[in-house]
Structure 1
Amino acid sequence: MTAGWQEVGDRVFVRRHRELDLNCGLVVGDGACLVVDTRSHLGEGRALAEAVRSVTPHPWSVVNTHAHYDHCFGNAAFRPADVWAHRGCAAELAATADQQRADVVAALLAEGDPAAELVAELVATTPLDLPDRLVDDAITLDVGGRPVALRHLGRGHTGADLVVAVDDVLFAGDLVEEGSPPAMEDAFPLEWAGTLTELLALARGPVVPGHGAVVDAAFVAAQRDELVGLARWLTDPAADPPFDGRTRAIARTRL
């Protein structure tokens, strides 16, 4: 598939980016398509839009899986299309976008690398474009005759994660991460495992994590069990700790 796309289902594609090992998705129907997440800044969003056009000329709509900058700061590149998200995602983004931007820019500038400084400028100048089509619990979109379900299964990586289900493919956002432990900065560690149990009930084929390689239900079950262990450790001092020390320390701050 051109432009870095991997087809993981019938006209369902994943594009895995070197930057942050981030995954974006594309669902193509008859005369319409849906883009899952939009990357970290307007320039990356425009590059993703060009990549979509290498697959289909159809009009697009967008879904943001959650309110972290690397999944939604590229939204403006896809306007005037509808941008779907959980209602809480839009609120979180409105409340935290400026701080997210400041933190990312500071981290990039601290690298002291000209390439990182350029990315910092792109993040700093990217317009904030909030989702405008809001989901509470679940909705099914018609994407060119294809039903695509947007589901909020509970709190986990954030308070307002959406999963995207089409045929037997599930886009999990950062509820699932491959290659590193789940990120805990604004997570709900005591609830995350229960949310993954709900996700497993939908997992009938490929599961696309927010970052890393495409996985399956067995991988999700293993990550769920690790999160069960984390919740046990957080509430029982005698329990064995899972994951690495940094993840545990951050999880502590969420209680």
Structure 2
Amino acid sequence: MTAGWVEVGEGVLVRRHAELDLNCGLVLGDGACLVVDSRSHLGEAADLIAAVRSVTPHPWTLVNTHAHYDHCFGNAAFRPAEVWATRGCAADLVATGEQQRAAVVRQLRDAGRTRTADLVAAAPIDPPDHLVDDVAHLDVGGREVVLRFLGRGHTDHDLVVEVADGVIFAGDLVEEGAPPAFDDAFPAEWPATLGRLHGLAGGPVVPGHGAVVDAAFVGAQREELLAVVAAVRAGRTDDGPYDPATMRTAARRLR
């Protein structure tokens, strides 16, 4: 597959980026396509668009899995297309977008990455405008794609993208190659949400970052999250499944 795409199901492609090990998705239909997540700024979005156009000339719909900058600050590049997400995602992006931008720009400048910092600083914050409360069914050129809010986990608004013939885009509800990120998380609820996701998973599961996984991996990550909750509640943040810094962040978020 060209331009970095890997086919994980019939007409369902994943592009894994070196920057942040981020995954974006592409679902191909008859005369239409759907893109999952838009990357961190307009330059990265333009790169993703060029990759999409290397595969299909057809109009797209965009889905945001959640409101963290690396998944949605490229939204404006895909307009005037529909941008779908949970209602909570749109609200969170409006509420935190500028704060996220300032923090990321500061980190990039501190790391000497001035050009990338400038690109993030210039990215329009463009919230999704087609909103999901529970479930929505999209017709992507004759293919059914189901958007589901399964509960709180990595954020309070994670959206799962289920392609009818078996592939699931899980966003950062699932993390491969690194511990899950707890900064905005709901650790006490995350295992139940992953349990619901596990029940849907009958084929490849695309995490927000890292290699494509499967239902067994989702189940194992759920067990790790249960171990996090148990360790924190027992006051053993130095004895969990993840590194101490990750465990301390989980402890701050446990409610």
TM-score normalised by length of structure 1: 0.97
Q: Which shifted more, 240-249 or 164-173?
A: 240-249
Letter in 2 for 1:246: A
Cα deviation code 1:199-237 (max 9, x no counterpart): 001100100000000011111111110000011112223
Aligned residues: 252
Letter in 1 for 2:204: P
**How many angstroms apart in 1 are the aligned matches of 2:200 and 2:245?**
31
Partner of residue 153, structure 1: 150
Partner of residue 43, structure 1: 43
**How many angstroms apart in 2 are the aligned matches of 1:48 and 1:77?**
10
Cα deviation code 1:80-131 (max 9, x no counterpart): 000000000000000000010001000011112xxx1100000001111110
**How many angstroms apart in 2 are the aligned matches of 1:171 and 1:206?**
9
**How many angstroms apart in 1 are the aligned matches of 2:236 and 2:7?**
45
Partner of residue 117, structure 2: 120
**How many angstroms apart in 2 are the aligned matches of 1:220 and 1:254?**
21
Letter in 1 for 2:15: R
Partner of residue 132, structure 1: 129
Partner of residue 76, structure 2: 76
**Are 1:248 and 2:236 an aligned pair?**
no
Cα displacement (A) at 1:238: 6.0
CA RMSD of aligned residues (A): 1.0
2:160 to 155, 158, 163: 163
Partner of residue 234, structure 1: 232
**How many angstroms apart in 2 are the aligned matches of 1:224 and 1:185?**
18
Unaligned runs of 5+ in 1: none
Cα deviation code 1:14-72 (max 9, x no counterpart): 00000000000000000110000000001111111111000101100000000000000
Partner of residue 63, structure 1: 63
Partner of residue 193, structure 1: 191
Q: Which shifted more, 103-112 or 231-240?
A: 231-240
Letter in 2 for 1:118: R
Cα deviation code 1:133-190 (max 9, x no counterpart): 0000001100000000000000000000000000110000000010000001100011
**How many angstroms apart in 2 are the aligned matches of 1:98 and 1:253?**
23
TM-score normalised by length of structure 2: 0.97
Alignment map for 1:95-114 (pairs within 5 Å): 95-112=95-112
**How many angstroms apart in 2 are the aligned matches of 1:233 and 1:154?**
22
Letter in 2 for 1:29: G
Give 4+ residue runs of structure 1 displaced > 4 Å after superposition. none
**How many angstroms apart in 2 are the aligned matches of 1:218 and 1:252?**
26
**How many angstroms apart in 1 are the aligned matches of 2:236 and 2:160?**
34
Letter in 1 for 2:162: A
**How many angstroms apart in 2 are the aligned matches of 1:83 and 1:7?**
23
Q: Which shifted more, 228-237 or 151-160?
A: 228-237
Unaligned runs of 5+ in 2: none
2:140 to 140, 143, 146: 143
**How many angstroms apart in 2 are the aligned matches of 1:63 and 1:237?**
39
